[in-house]
């Protein structure tokens, strides 16, 4: 960062990794993190995202925001001169994907041509981000989910348009075994994303057959790695023997949030 610049990091939802990795990363770069909880700020009740951003842009080099609706982030980005980073919305978690792709590259080499299966909530921020980021990286991404929890048609359309240019591919299916055949990378995420807590019982019943256990892991390549953005619910979306087993790279993955976001901030602020 140029001089002692401040970066605002705003949270409408809970966080451990995103909060720690942005705070440490901004400090590592010589800047100062300004962590704001929406619960005790004016945003989210008394003030619009763009008014908040117009105030912050006079004081900070960038705004990082974890929120619910994607449209709030887009409204903020349109209404301000500083970069706005999505630190997770209901629809996407792009910072996590930067870290995940870095982790896959560290363990598997070049990303293009690798195959990846995501099992679970296909409409979640993680599955939708895997469709877009996997396509961008030229990967072959299969998302196995119940039909009523499929990724948005617009996201799949965008991902397929990207994949046409990169040589990647995107497949959505209901059968987890079909998605897993010989893949290089297996991924899952919570069945109950933040904001969906009221649907927990119904989701646990619907997603049961998508749990990544040792039997399902055995359908992937013997050299496959397992990723999970965390926090994890052992015994629900993943069995303990998989997430705590030899194929799991979750701790590298969570550390890579720090490295990937530092690179993102440098890249954004050099352009700003």
Cis peptide before 231 (omega within 30 of 0): yes
Output 2 or 202, the one with its CB closest to ligand NVA.
Answer: 202
- The neighbour count for residue 242, using CB atoms within 10 Å, is 22
Output 34 or 194, the one with its CB closest to ligand NVA.
Answer: 194
Q: Specify the length of the chain in residues.
A: 272
Least Å distance, CB 1 to ligand NVA, is 26
Within 199-218, the residues that bind ligand CP by CB under 6 A are none
Name which of ligand NVA, ligand CP, none residue 16 binds, using a CB cut-off of 5 to 8 Å depending on partner kind: ligand CP
Name which of ligand NVA, ligand CP, none residue 193 binds, using a CB cut-off of 5 to 8 Å depending on partner kind: ligand NVA
Q: Binding-site residue total for ligand CP (CB under 6 A)?
A: 8
Q: Reduce the DSSP state of residue 61 to 3 states and report it.
A: coil
Contact 122, 151 (CB under 8 A): yes
The verdict on whether 54 is a catalytic residue reads no
The dihedral sign for the CA sequence 20, 25, 30, 31:
negative
Strands (E), the chain: 6-11, 32-37, 62-66, 84-86, 115-119, 140-144, 169-173, 185-188, 225-228
Least Å distance, CB 15 to ligand CP, is 3
**How is 233-253 classified by DSSP, letter by letter?**
-BTTTB-HHHHTSTTB-HHHH
Residue 229 as a binder of ligand CP (CB under 6 A): the answer is: yes
Beta bridge partners of 225: 185
Kindly indicate which of the ranges 16-24, 133-141, 145-153, 216-224 contains the residues binding ligand CP, using the contact rule CB under 6 A: 16-24
Indicate the DSSP class of residue 39. G
Within 178-207, the residues that bind ligand NVA by CB under 6 A are 189-190, 193-194
Q: Which of 86, 115, 124, 150 binds ligand NVA (CB under 6 A)?
A: 124
The verdict on whether 121 is a catalytic residue reads no
The verdict on whether 96 is a catalytic residue reads yes
Please give the residue ranges that form the binding site for ligand NVA (CB under 6 A): 88, 124-126, 189-190, 193-194, 229
- Residues identified as active-site: 66, 93, 96, 189, 229, 257
């Amino acid at each position: 960062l140029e001089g002692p610049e401040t970066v605002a990091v705003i949270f409408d939802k809970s966080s451990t990794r995103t909060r720690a990795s942005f705070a440490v990363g901004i400090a590592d770069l010589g800047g100062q993190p300004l962590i704001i909880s929406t619960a005790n700020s004016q945003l989210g009740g008394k003030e619009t995202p763009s008014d908040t951003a117009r105030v912050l842009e006079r004081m900070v080099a960038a705004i990082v925001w974890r929120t619910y609706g994607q449209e709030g982030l887009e409204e903020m980005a349109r209404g301000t001169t500083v970069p706005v980073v999505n630190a997770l919305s209901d629809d996407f978690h792009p910072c996590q994907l930067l870290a995940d792709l870095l982790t896959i590259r560290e363990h598997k080499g070049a990303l293009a041509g690798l195959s990846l299966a995501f099992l679970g909530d296909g409409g979640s921020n993680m599955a939708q981000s895997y469709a877009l980021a996997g396509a961008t990286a030229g990967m072959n991404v299969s998302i196995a989910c119940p039909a009523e929890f499929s990724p948005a048609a617009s996201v799949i359309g965008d991902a397929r348009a990207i994949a046409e240019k990169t040589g990647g591919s995107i497949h959505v299916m209901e059968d987890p075994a079909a998605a897993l055949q010989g893949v290089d990378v297996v991924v899952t995420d919570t069945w109950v994303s933040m904001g969906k807590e009221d649907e927990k019982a119904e989701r646990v019943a619907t997603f049961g057959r998508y749990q990544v256990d040792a039997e399902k892991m055995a359908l992937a390549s013997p050299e496959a790695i397992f990723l999970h953005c965390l926090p994890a619910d052992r015994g629900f979306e993943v069995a303990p023997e998989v997430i705590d087993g030899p194929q799991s790279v979750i701790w590298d993955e969570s550390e890579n949030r720090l490295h990937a976001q530092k690179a993102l901030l440098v890249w954004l602020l050099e352009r700003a």
